[in-house]
């Protein structure tokens, strides 16, 4: 059996590792623009190969898969999906795990995703407006003085999301200026790069609450969920600094400490409804991974912030090492639309993943790039941790940083706190050869940060359950003088 994995980050290293554990002993091949030392090692060990190449090029990927004679392809990152790599493989009759370009609109276009949720009246939807022109977005902001989240309407690697609270009337003009500046920044610096989408700016109601990700496999009919994971997006301790792709993540023994089983199950029901609606809209078969990036909000309880048409990174690194179900069997069930017959099995452990990034990331990737990286893997193993390599490239047998998160440290334990202690010890085993600084977040998985999240979730839960018992879940209420109470349906 031969399997081809597309992508070269830590998520793809975790996916490759899951295939490596399969009893079917597949030969593992990978296509990636960088040479990830972890993936390379596994490929070689199984008699496969890592091919440096253009992962966004459907013809190149299909030619490579055909030449290698692989049984199926697994696509890790989102951009190959948006570029139609699964469509190209399917046209040649090569089975593929990865949502096709139409279905992956659920991640690519935030306006499509929000529109779909409204059309099918799926719970956990937020009020939003999408704009094709900067002029319309700026004009709207002058009229609409509210707390909002302003985002690029296309998935742009998590860049450009800004949440602006606007509650003090006397600050209205100041807040308006901040919102306008951010819209201009998205338009000129982020969305200008993408020509494959009409909607440019998305403005939606601001929400607050603990976030979590529910990653699921789907064969287009059945949705099978992994345990929930919480990612931490900000670069620095205690949610400070710019947004990144994710600096680290936690999963509990079975459940996250701030989430109830009912909330997790409701989150899965939302994802199931979206998959059903998506199938009706795209009118095509699709198979792959779909993940809800969720928030517990006062308005809805479980609420969709975004969808991923893939595993999250670093979230994949928390759950894939725990997966006991055979990865090859799992993929075959997806491909033959028999996912309803599968029950996922996991090792019962809490996990902590910590990303390590070179100074400069995320805003000055040019500075963060090109530094030699030295990792004492033996010591990490002795300490009980594991390494999943990310944005690094093996050049002349030397490992160089690629400008993003260089690697992820994985640790498991009986509790998140225990896993956190192991992960923190492992961090000292990673350094640069030229003295360039590296950073990570020690707070992720710490007792202090867990306590904060539990307190926040308790507050949010008390409000949304009150709203639920009063029949106003998902509704907005306003008072207009002379007209009384107006209830807007969400």
The contact set with ligand GLY (CB under 6 A) reads 158, 231, 245-246, 308, 312-313, 315
- Between CA 247 and CA 443 the distance in angstroms is 11
Nearer to ligand GLY, 227 or 312 (CB): 312
Nearer to ligand GLY, 317 or 446 (CB): 317
Q: What is the DSSP string of 264-322?
A: HHHHHHHHHHHHHHHHHHH-S---EEEEEEEEEETTTEEEEEEEESS--TTHHHHHGGG
The answer to whether 456 and 210 are in contact (CB under 8 A) is: yes
Structure tokens at 414: 């009986």
* Residue 386 three-state SS: strand
User: Smallest gap, in angstroms, from Cβ of residue 425 to ligand GLY?
Assistant: 24
User: Smallest gap, in angstroms, from Cβ of residue 158 to ligand GLY?
Assistant: 5
- Between CA 339 and CA 395 the distance in angstroms is 41
User: How far are the Cα atoms of 114, 158, 307 from residue 129, in angstroms, in the given order?
Assistant: 9, 19, 17
Residue appearing with tokens 């602006």: 164
> Within its chain, how far is the Cα of 13 from the centroid?
15
User: Smallest gap, in angstroms, from Cβ of residue 488 to ligand GLY?
Assistant: 31
Question: How many CB atoms within 10 Å of residue 181?
Answer: 11
Nearer to ligand GLY, 236 or 488 (CB): 236
Nearer to ligand GLY, 31 or 316 (CB): 316
User: Smallest gap, in angstroms, from Cβ of residue 316 to ligand GLY?
Assistant: 8
Fill in the DSSP letter of residue 323: B
User: Smallest gap, in angstroms, from Cβ of residue 43 to ligand GLY?
Assistant: 23
Nearer to ligand GLY, 10 or 62 (CB): 10
* CA dihedral (460, 465, 470, 475) positive or negative: positive
User: Smallest gap, in angstroms, from Cβ of residue 245 to ligand GLY?
Assistant: 5
Q: Which position's Cβ is nearest ligand GLY? A: 246
Dihedral (C-alpha) 195, 33, 284, 124: value to the nearest 10 degrees? -70
Nearer to ligand GLY, 90 or 408 (CB): 408
Nearer to ligand GLY, 161 or 274 (CB): 161
The answer to whether 71 and 5 are in contact (CB under 8 A) is: no
Nearer to ligand GLY, 204 or 306 (CB): 306
User: Smallest gap, in angstroms, from Cβ of residue 226 to ligand GLY?
Assistant: 13
Bridge partners, 301 (sequence order): 297
User: Smallest gap, in angstroms, from Cβ of residue 10 to ligand GLY?
Assistant: 10
């Amino acid at each position: 059996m031969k399997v081809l994995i597309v992508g070269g980050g830590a998520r793809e290293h975790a996916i490759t590792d899951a295939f490596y554990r399969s009893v079917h002993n597949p030969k593992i091949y990978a296509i990636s623009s960088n040479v990830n030392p972890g993936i390379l090692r596994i490929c070689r060990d199984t008699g496969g190969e890592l091919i440096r190449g253009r992962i966004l090029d459907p013809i190149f990927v299909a030619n490579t898969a055909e030449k290698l004679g692989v049984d199926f392809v697994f696509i890790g990152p989102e951009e190959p999906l948006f570029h139609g790599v699964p469509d190209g493989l399917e046209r040649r009759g090569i089975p593929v795990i990865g949502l096709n370009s139409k279905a992956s609109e659920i991640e690519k276009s935030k306006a499509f995703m929000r529109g779909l949720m409204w059309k099918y009246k799926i719970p956990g939807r937020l009020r939003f407006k999408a704009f094709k022109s900067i002029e319309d977005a700026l004009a709207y902001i002058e009229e609409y003085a509210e707390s909002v989240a302003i985002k690029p309407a296309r998935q742009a690697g998590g860049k450009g999301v800004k949440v602006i609270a606007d509650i003090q009337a006397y600050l209205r003009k100041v807040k308006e200026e901040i919102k306008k500046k951010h819209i201009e920044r998205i338009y000129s610096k982020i969305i200008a790069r993408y020509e494959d989408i009409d909607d440019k700016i998305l403005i939606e109601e601001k929400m607050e609450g603990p976030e979590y990700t529910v990653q699921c496999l789907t064969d287009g009919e059945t949705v099978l969920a992994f345990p929930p994971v919480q990612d931490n997006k900000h670069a620095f301790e205690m949610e400070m600094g710019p947004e990144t792709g994710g600096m680290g993540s936690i999963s509990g023994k079975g459940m996250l400490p701030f989430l109830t089983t009912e909330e997790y199950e409701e989150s899965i029901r939302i994802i199931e409804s979206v998959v059903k609606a998506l199938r009706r809209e795209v009118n095509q078969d699709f198979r792959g991974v779909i993940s809800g990036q969720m928030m517990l909000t006062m308005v809805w309880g479980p609420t969709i912030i975004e969808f991923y048409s893939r595993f999250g990174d670093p979230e994949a690194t928390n759950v894939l090492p725990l997966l006991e179900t055979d990865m090859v069997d799992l993929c075959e069930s997806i491909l033959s639309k028999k996912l309803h017959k599968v029950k996922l099995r996991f090792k019962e452990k809490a996990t902590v993943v910590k990303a390590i990034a070179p100074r400069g990331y995320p805003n000055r990737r040019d500075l963060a790039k090109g530094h030699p990286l030295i990792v004492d893997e033996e010591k990490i193993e002795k300490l009980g941790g594991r390494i999943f390599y990310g944005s690094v490239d093996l050049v002349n047998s030397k490992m160089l940083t690629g400008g993003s998160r260089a690697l992820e440290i994985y640790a498991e334990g009986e509790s998140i706190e225990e896993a956190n202690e192991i992960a923190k010890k492992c961090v000292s085993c990673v350094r640069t050869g030229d003295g360039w600084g590296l950073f990570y977040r020690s707070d992720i998985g710490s007792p202090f940060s867990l306590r904060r999240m539990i307190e926040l979730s308790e507050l949010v839960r008390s409000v949304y359950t009150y709203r639920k018992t009063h029949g106003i879940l998902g509704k907005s209420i306003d008072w207009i003088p002379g007209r009384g109470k107006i209830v807007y349906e969400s």
